Amino acid sequence: MDTIKILLIEPNESIGEVITKSLQRAFNAEVVFLKTSAEGVKRLKDRESFSLILVRNKNDETPEIKEDPIAEHILNIIYDQALKIPLIVIGDFEHTYKKYTLVSEQFRIEEINRLVLKSLGLKKEDFEHLKLPDYVPFSIKHFYLMTSSPCAIYIKLVKKTGDEFVKRLKNNENFNKIDLKTYEELGLQDFYILREEYEDFMNGLFLQTIDNLKLPRNLEENMEVVGDSFVLGTNLMRSLGINANCICMVDQTLLMMKNQIQKTDKLGALLRKLLDDKMSYSYRRSYLIAALSNTLFPKMGWGSGDQQSILLEKICMVAYFHDIYLEDEKLLKISSLAEQKFALLSPKENDLVNNHANRAAVLIQSYPKLPQGIDMIIKQHHGVSNGVGFPEVLTAGISPLAIFFIVLEDFATNILAISGPPENLVNSMREALKPLKEKYQLPSYRKIVTEIEMMIAPKK
C-alpha cells in the first residue's frame, strides 16, 4: 500500500500534535501539520499531492492573529483546482460545495481514525500489522518452504534482565528444512522479524513458498510440501484473514492436492503416506477425506467426469477450510455432543468447538471466485444447519454434500486412529467402517456407508 499523506491544519498546537501522533500510529501516515490555511492553500496550488485533508473549521480572530476561515479556504481551492482529495472538517461548517465530511468539535480520536479509513475506502484490517510488537514472532514451521531469508531473522533469548534478540540469519542467507528442524529439536519454536521488515518478510514468504511448491517432486515429497503449505496457509488465514498473497498460495496448494489425488489411481499409495504422523493431523485427515471422496464420486450418481472433477475441487476446499479455527488435535477429533461432553472442555474450548463451523463459513465468504455452496457445506459439516454446535440427532435436512462429508470425515478419523502403519489396509478400513454402520441409520447417510463398504471389498 502507498504511504498515506495527510494535510492537517489545526491552529491549536497541542491538539494538532495529538492528532498527528495518532495518524502516524494508526496508519503509519506522513502528516504535514500546519497551523494556518495560507501555507496549505499554497501547497495545494503547487499541486502537492495528499491522500486526505483534515482541517479545523476556522480560527477566530485574536489580538495576535487575524481570522482564518480554514475550511472555506481549503474547500475553495479544492473546488477551483478540481482536486479529488477527501476533506474532513472539525467543527460546524457549511458550504455550497458539499464535498466534505464533518466531525464534531468534541471529537474523539477514534472518530477521526474511523472517518479517515472511510474517506480513503480502506479497512481497519489493512493496518493491523502496525500494532505488532518490535520483534514479530513467526513459527519456524512457517519457514519450511523458504530457502533464503528476505530480511534479518532473530531468535529470542529469555534473560533475567529481559528478553534479548540475537540475529541468527542475515538478509538473503540460505537455509533448508533440515536446518530448521535442527533449531526445533533444540527447543526453538519461533523466529522473530523486525516490525519494519514484516511486509518484506511476508512478500518473500509467499513468493518463495509458491515457487517452491511448483518444483518437480515425487508423490511422497509432494504430499509433504503440500502439507507444509497447508499448515502455513491455514495458520496465516486464521490470524490475518484472507488476503491476496495467501489466496495465491492456497489456490496452488488446493490445485496440487486435487492433481495428486486425480493422478494417483491407487488409494493405498496416498493412504500409506497419510499415516505418517509427522505431518499435521488436520492436513492428513483433510487429504484423506478428499482422496476417499474421489474414489466414491463415480458411485454417487452425481454426474460425469467433468462434474466429478468440480466436486473434487469443492471437497478439497471444504476439507481445507472447514476446521481452520481448530488447532488442537483434541478439538479436531470431536464430532458429536457426546464426544464434546466427554472431553470436559474449558468454556473457551467449548466456545471454539461450538462456533468453528459457522466462523469458517463466514471467513470463506470473502474468498474470491468461491465455488457455489462451499460456505454452506462448511457450515453444515457437523450436521447442524446454522453451523453452531452438534445436532441432538442426525437429520437428512442438510446439503447432500455435507452429509457425504460428515460420513467420510468420520471414516477418515477412524482410519487415522489405527496406530502404526497397518499391514493390511483392507482390514484396517473394515475396522474403521464398523462403528459407522451402527451410527448412520438414515437412508441418505447409509447409502454412503454402503458405498464405502463396496469400495473396500468390491463385489466379484
Among 140-148, 156-164, 321-329, 372-380, which window interacts with Fe ion (CB under 5 A)? 321-329
Nearest-CA neighbor of 241 among 181, 159, 324, 355? Answer: 324
According to DSSP, residue 139 is labeled: E
Residues 6+ apart with CB under 8 A from 66: none
Residues of span 79-138 touching Fe ion by CB under 5 A = none
Nearer of residues 10 and 323 to Fe ion, judged by Cβ: 323
Nearer of residues 51 and 340 to Fe ion, judged by Cβ: 340
H-helix or E-strand spanning residue 93: none
Q: What are phi and psi of 441, to 5 degrees?
A: -100, -25
Shortest separation between residue 443's beta carbon and Fe ion, angstroms: 24
Nearer of residues 40 and 387 to Fe ion, judged by Cβ: 387
Residue 431 has which C-alpha cell?
Answer: 475396522
Q: How far is CA 337 from CA 209, 289, 340, 350, in A?
A: 39, 22, 5, 11
* Residue sitting closest to Fe ion (CB): 323
Among 96-104, 202-210, 323-331, 449-457, which window interacts with Fe ion (CB under 5 A)? 323-331
Among 61-69, 88-96, 319-327, 451-459, which window interacts with Fe ion (CB under 5 A)? 319-327
Shortest separation between residue 372's beta carbon and Fe ion, angstroms: 21
Among 54-62, 103-111, 151-159, 316-324, which window interacts with Fe ion (CB under 5 A)? 316-324
> Are 116 and 54 a contacting pair, CB within 8 Å?
yes
Q: How far is CA 201 from CA 3, 137, 205, 243, in A?
A: 18, 12, 6, 15
Total residues at the site for Fe ion (CB under 5 A)?
Answer: 1
Shortest separation between residue 365's beta carbon and Fe ion, angstroms: 17
Among 121-129, 191-199, 227-235, 322-330, which window interacts with Fe ion (CB under 5 A)? 322-330
Nearer of residues 136 and 312 to Fe ion, judged by Cβ: 312
Nearer of residues 261 and 319 to Fe ion, judged by Cβ: 319
Long-range contacts of 182-186 (CB under 8 A, 24+ apart): 183/140, 183/155, 184/140, 184/141
Tell me the longest C-alpha to C-alpha distance in the chain.
104
Q: Is 410 in the site for Fe ion (CB under 5 A)?
A: no
Shortest separation between residue 282's beta carbon and Fe ion, angstroms: 8
Beta strands in 79-215 (DSSP E): 87-90, 101-103, 135-139, 153-157, 164-169, 190-194
Virtual torsion, Cα 4, 10, 13, 15, nearest 10 deg: -80
Shortest separation between residue 285's beta carbon and Fe ion, angstroms: 7
Exposure of 269 by Cβ count < 10 A (0-12 exposed, 13-18 middle, 19+ buried)?
A: middle
Among 61-69, 113-121, 303-311, 320-328, which window interacts with Fe ion (CB under 5 A)? 320-328
Virtual torsion, Cα 213, 219, 225, 229, nearest 10 deg: 80
Shortest separation between residue 381's beta carbon and Fe ion, angstroms: 6
Residue 250 has which C-alpha cell?
Answer: 492456497
Shortest separation between residue 405's beta carbon and Fe ion, angstroms: 9
Nearer of residues 281 and 302 to Fe ion, judged by Cβ: 281
Shortest separation between residue 198's beta carbon and Fe ion, angstroms: 31
**Between 400-417 and 281-296, two packed helices, what is the crossing angle to 10 degrees?**
120
Q: Which of 10, 323, 375, 451 binds Fe ion (CB under 5 A)?
A: 323
Residues 6+ apart with CB under 8 A from 410: 335, 436, 439
Distance CA 10, CA 15 (A): 7
Shortest separation between residue 369's beta carbon and Fe ion, angstroms: 24
> Are 319 and 286 a contacting pair, CB within 8 Å?
yes
Shortest separation between residue 453's beta carbon and Fe ion, angstroms: 22
Nearer of residues 9 and 374 to Fe ion, judged by Cβ: 374
Residues at the site binding Fe ion, with contacts judged by CB under 5 A: 323
